[in-house]
Amino acid sequence: MRPTELINMGKSILFGAIVLVTLALIMWTVVYKFILKKSFKKGKLGTIKELIPKCLLGIVIVVIVSATLISVRGRVGYVERFVLPFVSYKLAWFEFNKVDWRNIVLNILMFVPFGFILPLAIKKLQEEWKVYLAGFSFSLFIELIQLVTGRGIFECDDLINNLLGTMIGYGLYKIFKAVISKKFSKGILLYQIPLLVAVLSLSVIFIAYNNKEYGNFVYDNTSKHKMPEIKTGDNVILSSEQSSVNVYKTKIATPNETREYAEELLAIQNKKLDEDRIDLYNDEAFYWSDDNPTILLDISYIGETVDYTNFDYDFGNKVKYMKNADEGTIREAAKKIGFNIPKQADLDIKQNDYLFTVKDYIEEDKYYNGTVNCRITEDGIISSLHYMVIEGDLYKSENIISSEEAFELFKEGIFYYPYVNSNGFLNEKTITVNDIRLSYMTDTKGYIRPIWWIFINNDKYRVVIPAMQK
């Protein structure tokens, strides 16, 4: 979800909560005027001043319920659970994308108002343990509803984050109460420990990541698996020889750099950006030309790969595509719109689709890997082109483990495999390793690092073993 969508969703949830509470207040006013006015005068129902925190608490509860149960995206009815603590933190660390960390922070912040307003609204819940218990119980209620209905994911980490948010909110309540009463004590500082822990923990995580030479690999998030019986194919050759290979670095573009790239591509065709249709996501950016029909450019931040679509041709009913075009014609047409297909790429033609593939190709200090898929009209115009080639420049050389060591790690079950509970190879009695091959993958900082691919049961399954020595 992009930031603008997140903000709009928050606005809609808050607006809905305010509308509901406003309607409730109107109903309350009517009931108060005709039924409860005398009771208020006698002090039986408190004062209007005491009613305000209760209304705010109602808004907070409606917002939380709406955000966690009503405005849920994804596969509603699909039950998914993570009962072990800090699973989301591990995934966020190894994948290190903004979405995961944003979700963790939002789960904390969402319950801060609850911890702050609850003791103001309900006098019987002003002790810290009562507020903490109420926050935990409310969070557990939401998680159980998600588990039963499939709206969202049941996560132990949500309970932890929500409780932490409640504790932070209660700490802010203690400061607020001290300011109002002008009575300060050292004990107030103890209630700020949850806030201090949250800030310091997240700061340490991000500082540690920024100080690392390389980025993170999801495949470094290894677990110990119970392995079936393993056989090796006749063509599998294991070597105990350790060696060194090159590491490469691809570009990690900023949103401004993707914009400049989009402007360059459109300028080649004498077109300009539509300033009203620029969509920035967490890992990619969408740009449209300002004419009609338009050109759409979907540019990824990692490697600046591009999805190019010319809507004048790609969705036209009367468009005729060129069949069995020669390679030179396609390369020249792609060059005219700003794309140079790597000369090392091999061409595969399937009727109207032309697929260029370059696999772990290394030439001097450059690395190429990926595909270019395109369509071309009979007039020689590219209607759509998916430039998914990652290019890297030489960074340095690193020592790697041998294929024999990689195979031993696999035999011991020490690797990352997310499909433990599915019908993967771990559920089979016997498996056959058909091939072990050195390849490359890009980490979260754009470093193209060596990995060992292990192919299982005639390439039906694959496992990645990180190759760089630790």
In order of 37, 121, 124, the CA distances from 42 in angstroms are: 9, 20, 21
What pLDDT sits at residue 76?
Answer: 44
What pLDDT sits at residue 292?
Answer: 80
Please, are residues 126 and 98 in contact by the beta-carbon 8 Å criterion? Answer: no
Quick count: other Cβ atoms within 10 Å of Cβ 168?
Answer: 25
Q: What is the pLDDT along the chain (470 residues), one digit of tens a residue?
A: 455 555 555 555 556 556 666 666 666 565 555 555 555 454 544 566 777 888 888 888 888 988 888 765 544 444 456 678 898 999 999 999 888 999 999 999 999 999 999 999 998 999 999 999 999 999 999 999 888 887 778 889 999 999 999 999 999 999 999 999 888 888 899 999 999 999 999 999 999 999 999 999 999 988 899 899 999 998 899 999 989 999 999 999 999 999 999 999 999 999 999 999 999 988 899 999 998 878 999 999 999 999 999 988 756 557 788 888 899 999 999 999 999 999 999 999 987 889 999 999 999 899 999 999 999 988 899 999 999 999 999 999 999 999 999 999 999 999 998 776 566 788 888 999 999 999 999 999 999 999 999 999 988 899 999 999 98
Please, are residues 60 and 52 in contact by the beta-carbon 8 Å criterion? Answer: no
What pLDDT sits at residue 323?
Answer: 84
Got the DSSP string for 421-457?
TTTSGGGSSEEEEEEEEEEEEE-TTSEEEEEEEEEET
Got the DSSP string for 31-47?
HIIIIIHHHHHTTSS--
Q: Kindly report, residue by residue over 159-205, the tens digit of the pLDDT.
A: 999 999 999 999 999 999 999 988 888 889 999 999 999 999 999 99
Q: pLDDT averaged over the chain?
A: 87
pTM listed for this prediction = 0.83
> Closest Cα partner for 406 from 446, 450, 368, 364?
450
Whole-number Å distance between alpha carbons of 190 and 41: 40
What pLDDT sits at residue 9?
Answer: 53
The two beta strands, 295-300 and 284-289, are antiparallel
Half-sphere exposure of 293 (CA within 13 A, CB side): 10
- State the virtual CA torsion across 166, 170, 171, 173 in degrees, nearest 10: 140
The two beta strands, 154-155 and 382-387, are unpaired
What pLDDT sits at residue 13?
Answer: 54
Is the bond preceding residue 293 a cis peptide, omega within 30 degrees?
yes
> Closest Cα partner for 115 from 106, 103, 127, 104?
127
